[in-house]
Amino acid sequence: MMATKTCLVLLFDSTSEVLLAEKLFKRAGISYKIIPVPRHLSSDCGACIRVFASDKKRARETLDGVVDIRDICPID
């Protein structure tokens, strides 16, 4: 289902931040999936979070002031 909609990937500095973002997304009811960082986006070996592009604003607002998003990238 997720693949049929446009998605974004949120990149963070550490997995601790990824998991903290997950906690906040769960509380806010935002759909997400933790995936390995796509190699073309970053050479980091950790995890990142995929969300629907339509949730970009809510996702940013949910994390605002708590977790810094390093980058937001479109993904196929």
In the numeric block, the tokens 């796509």 are attached to: 38
Q: Is 4 in the site for other proteins (CB under 8 A)?
A: no
Please tell me whether residue 71 binds other proteins under the rule CB under 8 A.
no
Taking only Cα atoms into account, the Rg of the chain, rounded to an integer number of angstroms, comes to 11
Residue 50: Cβ within 10 Å count: 16
Q: Binding string, 43-62, against other proteins, x = CB under 8 A?
A: xxxxxx--------------
Q: How far is CA 39 from CA 10, 25, 36, 72, in A?
A: 14, 24, 9, 14
* Residue 7, strand partner residues: 52, 75
Which of 19, 72 has the CB closer to other proteins?
Answer: 19
Q: How far is the CB of 5 from other proteins (least distance, A)?
A: 21
Of 54 and 71, CB closest to other proteins: 71
Which spans of this chain sit near other proteins (rule: CB under 8 A)? 13-20, 22-23, 34-37, 42-48, 66-67
